[in-house]
Amino acid sequence: MNKIITLGEVMLRLSPADNRRFAQANSFQIDFGGSEANVGAALVYWGEHVSHVTAFPDDELGKRAVSELRKSGLDTCLISFLPGRLGLYYLENGSLQRSSKIIYDRFGSSFSKYDGSDKNWEKELEGVTWVHWSGISPAISQEAADLTYRILKIARSKNIEVSGDINYRSNLWQYGKMAHEVMPKLIELSSVLIAGTRDFNQCLNKDFNDFSEAKAYAFEKYPQLKFIAKTNRKTHSASHNSLDAELHSKEQVWKSKNYEVNPILDRVGTGDAFAAGLILGLRKNDPKWAIEFGMAAGVLKHAVHGDLLLSSIEEVQEVADGTSGKIKR
């Protein structure tokens, strides 16, 4: 077996159709997503076996969430049902000079109460070759931080590759801990990080002036670390962004092409699509292809509604090759 595990909260996403504002929406489109499950679902589309670790309430909404993950092809055997509610977020999709807005309503969710103590992770991680986590889970609750640590520690002990997207969200971290109290011990269990300078500063309680400083520190401090990736986004407007990405090892740097995306259809999940592409490439031991494929996946996601990429390897490759855009008949 050669399985991937992703772990993290999956939320109900409620977004007004037709670029309407919250003030004027008549209905909400229903989608389901969460950073880590989005990564997993993209990898499934590309042929990987991915099992997602999360928890849901034991009601019709929790069952619906599971069925959506199943629809994406994710293995749902590691999902637990707990009291609590389904976490949700409201998304007002921006355009032009109007910014997108997200209102999170996730506190008290079943996931936030789940610490993973109901499973034998030694056994569940048999056959697993990659684990992916993000900085969101440890920011939600002590239980979710414990869950992440519990799984990463065993993964490390089994030499499973561990990738972490350590995006720092200031409006989380409300359970009494600060990021730098929790994140370092998770970072030291990871072999691949997706992180920018600000993320490093917040998670390590540092004050790096630029990325090269941060990177130098990280590679020295965390010897198990093999790669650090980051994306660079220039926001001309909510409709028009420019994007590229870079991948760093201790010795080398690989840079992707630069892309213009305009007009953006759905900005959410673009970082997750990037992460998925990057992971696919690193699993093939091809860092150069990884950063190009990852960036192309991230770019393509801007043209897909919802949290998920829903695109084949061939489609992403065409974007990377610059040959997409014509009608396929």
- In the complex with a second copy, the residue whose CB is nearer, 24 or 209, is 24
- In the complex with a second copy, the residue whose CB is nearer, 195 or 296, is 296
- In the complex with a second copy, the residue whose CB is nearer, 245 or 300, is 300
Give the position of tokens 């600000």: 198
CB of 295 to a second copy, least distance (A): 11
- In the complex with a second copy, the residue whose CB is nearer, 192 or 300, is 300
C-alpha–C-alpha distance, residues 187 and 149, integer Å: 10
Q: Which phi and psi angles does 150 have, rounded to 5°?
A: -55, -45
C-alpha–C-alpha distance, residues 144 and 128, integer Å: 21
CB of 118 to a second copy, least distance (A): 20
CB of 150 to a second copy, least distance (A): 27
Strands 80-81, 3-7: parallel, antiparallel or unpaired by DSSP? unpaired
Q: Please name the amino acid found at residue 231.
A: T
Q: Please name the amino acid found at residue 214.
A: A
C-alpha–C-alpha distance, residues 160 and 163, integer Å: 10
Q: Which pair of tokens denotes residue 110?
A: 């079943």
CB of 135 to a second copy, least distance (A): 13
CB under 8 A, 24+ apart: contacts of 184-187: 185/149, 186/133, 186/138, 186/148, 186/149, 186/152, 187/218, 187/222, 187/225
- H or E element, residue 147: helix 142-157
CB of 69 to a second copy, least distance (A): 9
CB of 225 to a second copy, least distance (A): 27
Strands 161-165, 192-194: parallel, antiparallel or unpaired by DSSP? parallel
Nearest-10 crossing angle of helices 197-204, 179-187: 110
- In the complex with a second copy, the residue whose CB is nearer, 36 or 161, is 36
- What value, to the nearest 5°, has the Cα angle with vertex 64 and ends 112 and 51? 65
CB of 259 to a second copy, least distance (A): 7
In terms of Cα–Cα distance, which of 245, 297, 306, 253 is closest to 276?
297
C-alpha–C-alpha distance, residues 281 and 163, integer Å: 13
- In the complex with a second copy, the residue whose CB is nearer, 24 or 159, is 24
- In the complex with a second copy, the residue whose CB is nearer, 303 or 313, is 303
CB of 133 to a second copy, least distance (A): 19
- In the complex with a second copy, the residue whose CB is nearer, 172 or 194, is 172
- In the complex with a second copy, the residue whose CB is nearer, 223 or 325, is 325
CB of 241 to a second copy, least distance (A): 8
DSSP state of 296: H
